[in-house]
Structure 1
Amino acid sequence: MTQAAVRVRRKETSRQGESVPGYAIPADPAEPRSSTGPSVAPMSAHRRHVLFVTTEIADFIKAGGLGDVSAALPRALKPTYDVRVLMPGYRQLLSSGRPIVTVARLPAVHDLPACEIGRLLCEDGLVIYVVLCPSLYDREGNAYGDELGEGWDDNDIRFARLAMAAAAIVNDPALLDWQVDLLHLNDWATGLTAGYVRWLGKRYVPSVYTIHNLAYQGVFPVERLSALGIPASAFHIDGVEFHGQLSFMKAGLSYASQVTTVSSNYAHEITTPAFGCGLEGLLAKRALEGRLSGLLNGIDDRWDPRTDPHLSPNFGINDWHGKRANTQRVRRLFGLAPSSGPLFAVVSRLVAQKGLDLTAQVAETIVRRGGQLVVIGRGEYVIEQSLIEMAARYPGQVGVNIGFDEGEARQIYAGSDFLLMPSRFEPCGLSQLYAQRFGSLPVAHRTGGLADTIQDGINGLLFDEMTLESYRTTVSRAFDLFRATDLFYAMRRAAMAGRLHWRQAVVPYRSLYAELLSEATVRSGDTVELR
């Protein structure tokens, strides 16, 4: 095994602290209009105010797809709504070099320490409100845990503080001299926000709660209720109770005005026991109420192989010479032998959800048939070790990088022929969209957003059963396709041309916001009851 075949890089080296170029969503005169929901008013001085609460944004810190969505969606909405982001003051933001001006102070409440609200202005004008509490957020590691991936013991306090800050901004319009009209919350760590607004608020503010991954639910002991300022009366089946424990995610699902997730297929799947993670009953109820919908993610102008600065050379549709040059670059990067066979890739969190245990077994088929495989990512120790052992079995044919680098990931999308995504479940998935845009055909399990974004035999390959045999058969199809040159290049062209841009993906969000704001106008005189 060469030293280049397996590299371990524990520290994230993606562009943390830098402004991310290309997030501005240019006006598109051909942008489709939604066929349902209220019409959306054009940009004006009276845009409604939306507070977008998140724990990641790719400009500064990113653990997964939420970081990309949080960077792109608020910007895509800006022509219609005054969207501002609220997030924790992680070390990556504090050390970014961008000025943060303190605009408000919040006292300690229950076990949540006092904090300040800072205002950071991105180069393109996006406003980010930062919850400044160094004892909670100014740490090495990622948004949720230490450098080894272990979650922080005080994550309940860390994210309850974020949620309580959001509720304070909603409840006190004078706090920032900017009154919130609508909340958009994301994943488990922001779920308590909807509850705090319900328990503490005096006016109705509609909220959207987006599930990016139902498997991560923020479950803590019931004894933490008082410390977090959650009323005991909220601990019941229609509140925050989940099998005798407290669930942050269930607070979001129970109290938000509308629950969304990131693909229509996943929105259906999570109402079933197979994918509902114990919450399928509540989700089915919200679906029957018309309060659960699936809205696909998109990708933005950063994902363009013609202009991406990480590629050498850049290339476009039909420029297969440029594509092959990137393939050879990836082979050199991972210490692979020269080859004329297909190059398969994995760019992923290395967790059981992603089906990487099956990929480790499929590697033998790939190598035996003359292909090669490269893997980049980090995650569960057992998965990481199995992939390292896989690379050791096939020196010069399989390369593994335990770690993550944004530029290297983009090179792999550009250089690979096929991207392997045998996910057991996948709410939406962005990797397949990136790969398609860069001319790499996804080979994926037909689930969640993968089923919504990949057309088998047109812009990728799908298999129906989550079994080794079904996966291996589809990988064999990829080899046959690679050698059927005309069909392979036709599918590659279709993949590169058919991206879902945020210009299109943002339309149903605009309509949903308008519908909820219209409801809020009707309910503005209501008294909000505690439940």
Structure 2
Amino acid sequence: MSVADQQDPIDLHHSPRSRHQLQPRILFATPEMADFVKTGGLGEVAGSLPRALRRHYDVRVVIPGYRQVIEQFDHIPVVAQLPAQAGIPPSDLGLVETTDGLKVYVILNADLYQRDGTPYGNAQGDFGDNDIRFARLSLAAAEIARGIDPTWAADLLHLNDWQAALAPAYLAWSGLRVPSILTVHNLAYQGVFPREALGRLGIPEDAFRMDGVEFYGQLSFLKAGLYYASHVTTVSETYAREIITPESGCGLDGLLRTRAAQGRLAGILNGIDESWDSRTDPHLAARFEIDDWKGKRANAETVRRQFGLAVSRGPLFAVVSRLVHQKGIDLSIGAAESIVAEGGQLVVIGQGEGRFEGALRDLARRYPSSVGVHVGFEERDARRMFAGSDFLLMPSRFEPCGLAQMYAQRFGSLPIVHRTGGLADTVEDGVTGFTFGEASARGFSVAIRRAFDTFAQKKRLNAMRRHAMSRSFGWDQAAMNYASLYARAFGNTAGLRLRAA
């Protein structure tokens, strides 16, 4: 999907610099960033995309001051005080710089952010005040656009997922028009809270309507962003088409169809960074190039030893995933016995729902020489699994973009994927992997059977590996697409379009 050449009027008088200057200022607001903390693909994107854009824009990031952020710096200079609003507490705004020079604003509020667990919750569930915690993030982004830091003010906000999605709404309610892009990484997570949250979040009562923040009698952060942002993007072209349908729209398909009809919904495929290179990755047991299948086998042997599997000449299948229903983990569990019966082996790393963790541990107990499971996540182990496996199982029921299938291809592991979202956009059936159209055990088993057949034909297997490893999946194309969108949001296409390298 593309965005039509519609232009928004915009007030840039809040900023001491004009939008026509060489490097417009982009603020990337995110609830997680791989430099500090990540739970999935969003963290990886937040660590990579701002850097890909930095050569052409003055890009900064704003993130909550989690413990994982605070602990990485001896001192965080405070550049501004964020005022309270309704029930949102005041906070300091710090500014740090990563080792490669990327500037990151940190919202300093120990009561809100310095907690055990993930950015969103702990073993007991989501934090009960997540509405306040992430309204604080959204409001901070809006304040930076207003110029609360006297040395820098954002000319455009690039907001990510529901946790930052109230920012364009706060700007609209204050009467300030600053262009904004909202990127939806997973429509299923919407930030829905009771209507009673309106008062403590400083949301006007008249905004609680269908053309506003109301969602089936509750408040939706994500809907607010979809409605108020200048443009909406999601993370693959296919997913952008899927979410305007009732089947995949999670109750927001009507609003998304409207935004698409306005030319304000686009799908821009994520990329992966340059560290995903089998020739240079220091995590691997052995580095290897295309056609160096001995080096790939060395990683397979390391993986088998690590998981306690038997030496085998059969194919090695891998799962590197959150262990949740969306990812089709039940389908992978259901396929395990037939994989073992055919002479294959399966290794799994990830964490998620207890029922799936238990079922996988049970498989490992029943087939100790053929199935290995690690509940948790280690970057080194995951990379070695991509490098050592022959096939990656990724039967996601829906997948907005997905990164694991890109990682796997770069390391010569052929993905077996459900043909949906970003999986459909990045895996070429029979060339760089295997796809199936029905998210069912039957469709999955047919694709796995094709993988076994290919493994027995070494010439074909190696040809597919070469094609897969030749894919780049870099950020250059995504950066150009975002730059084009930024230009449209600014209404200055000629002045702001990113030139191809």
Q: Which letter maps to 2:127? A: W
How far 1:391 sits from its partner (Å)? 1.8
**SS state of the match for residue 385, structure 1?**
helix
Give the structure 1 partner of residue 161 of structure 2: 187
Give the structure 2 partner of residue 166 of structure 1: 141
Structure 1 residues 168 and 323, CA gap change in structure 2 (3 angstroms): same
Give the structure 2 partner of residue 154 of structure 1: 129
1:58 alignment partner, one of 8, 18, 34: 34
Give the structure 1 partner of residue 97 of structure 2: 121
- Distance across 2 between alignment mates of 1:187 and 1:388: 33
- Distance across 1 between alignment mates of 2:50 and 2:235: 15
1:196 alignment partner, one of 160, 170, 173: 170
Give the structure 1 partner of residue 422 of structure 2: 449
Higher relative contact order (CA 8 A, sep 6+): 1
**SS state of the match for residue 60, structure 2?**
strand
How far 1:504 sits from its partner (Å)? 2.3
Residue 70 in 1 paired to residue 46 in 2?
Answer: yes
2:309 alignment partner, one of 324, 336, 342: 336
Residue 105 in 1 paired to residue 81 in 2?
Answer: yes
Q: Which letter maps to 1:268? A: R
Indicate if the aligned counterparts of 1:56 and 1:62 stay in contact, CA closer than 8 A: yes
Give the structure 2 partner of residue 351 of structure 1: 324
- Distance across 1 between alignment mates of 2:305 and 2:148: 58
Report the more deviating stretch, 98-107 or 302-311: 98-107
- Distance across 1 between alignment mates of 2:275 and 2:75: 25
Give the structure 1 partner of residue 475 of structure 2: 502
Q: Which runs of 5+ in 1 are unaligned?
A: 1-33, 39-43, 522-531
Structure 1 residues 314 and 200, CA gap change in structure 2 (3 angstroms): same
1:305 alignment partner, one of 278, 288, 301: 278
| Residue deviations 1:1-32 (CA, integer Å, cap 9, x gap) | xxxxxxxxxxxxxxxxxxxxxxxxxxxxxxxx
Give the structure 2 partner of residue 524 of structure 1: none
| Residue deviations 1:211-230 (CA, integer Å, cap 9, x gap) | 10001111100111001111
**SS state of the match for residue 100, structure 1?**
coil
2:259 alignment partner, one of 275, 278, 286: 286
Residue 93 in 1 paired to residue 66 in 2?
Answer: no
Give the structure 1 partner of residue 358 of structure 2: 385
Structure 1 residues 35 and 386, CA gap change in structure 2 (3 angstroms): closer
1:214 alignment partner, one of 163, 187, 202: 187
- Distance across 2 between alignment mates of 1:149 and 1:398: 30
**SS state of the match for residue 28, structure 2?**
strand
1:269 alignment partner, one of 231, 242, 246: 242
How far 1:201 sits from its partner (Å)? 3.6
How far 1:507 sits from its partner (Å)? 1.0
TM-score by length of 1: 0.88
Residue 240 in 1 paired to residue 220 in 2?
Answer: no
Give the structure 2 partner of residue 26 of structure 1: none
How far 1:394 sits from its partner (Å)? 1.6
Q: Which letter maps to 1:116? A: D
TM-score by length of 2: 0.93
Determine what percentage of the aligned residue pairs are the same residue.
57
| Residue deviations 1:95-128 (CA, integer Å, cap 9, x gap) | 1136421111122221111100000101111000
Structure 1 residues 131 and 381, CA gap change in structure 2 (3 angstroms): same
**SS state of the match for residue 118, structure 1?**
strand
Residue 319 in 1 paired to residue 292 in 2?
Answer: yes
- Distance across 2 between alignment mates of 1:429 and 1:191: 21
1:178 alignment partner, one of 152, 155, 167: 152
Give the structure 1 partner of residue 12 of structure 2: none
Indicate if the aligned counterparts of 1:36 and 1:511 stay in contact, CA closer than 8 A: no
1:139 alignment partner, one of 115, 118, 125: 115
Report the more deviating stretch, 282-291 or 378-387: 378-387
**SS state of the match for residue 222, structure 1?**
coil
How far 1:392 sits from its partner (Å)? 2.1
Give the structure 2 partner of residue 252 of structure 1: 225
- Distance across 2 between alignment mates of 1:355 and 1:339: 27
How far 1:35 sits from its partner (Å)? 13
Indicate if the aligned counterparts of 1:206 and 1:520 stay in contact, CA closer than 8 A: no
- Distance across 2 between alignment mates of 1:282 and 1:45: 35
How far 1:179 sits from its partner (Å)? 1.9
How far 1:388 sits from its partner (Å)? 1.6
Q: Which letter maps to 1:136? A: L
Give the structure 2 partner of residue 512 of structure 1: 485
Indicate if the aligned counterparts of 2:3 and 2:265 stay in contact, CA closer than 8 A: no
- Distance across 2 between alignment mates of 1:138 and 1:102: 17
Indicate if the aligned counterparts of 2:3 and 2:264 stay in contact, CA closer than 8 A: no
Structure 1 residues 520 and 117, CA gap change in structure 2 (3 angstroms): farther
Indicate if the aligned counterparts of 2:4 and 2:264 stay in contact, CA closer than 8 A: no
Give the structure 1 partner of residue 341 of structure 2: 368
- Distance across 2 between alignment mates of 1:322 and 1:199: 58
How far 1:305 sits from its partner (Å)? 1.1
- Distance across 2 between alignment mates of 1:511 and 1:73: 15
Report the more deviating stretch, 248-257 or 45-54: 45-54
Aligned length: 480
Q: Which letter maps to 2:152? A: W
**SS state of the match for residue 452, structure 2?**
helix
Q: Which runs of 5+ in 2 are unaligned?
A: 7-19, 495-501
How far 1:150 sits from its partner (Å)? 2.1
- Distance across 1 between alignment mates of 2:221 and 2:148: 28
2:22 alignment partner, one of 46, 49, 61: 46
**SS state of the match for residue 223, structure 2?**
helix
- Distance across 1 between alignment mates of 2:132 and 2:366: 45
How far 1:194 sits from its partner (Å)? 1.4
Indicate if the aligned counterparts of 1:436 and 1:499 stay in contact, CA closer than 8 A: no
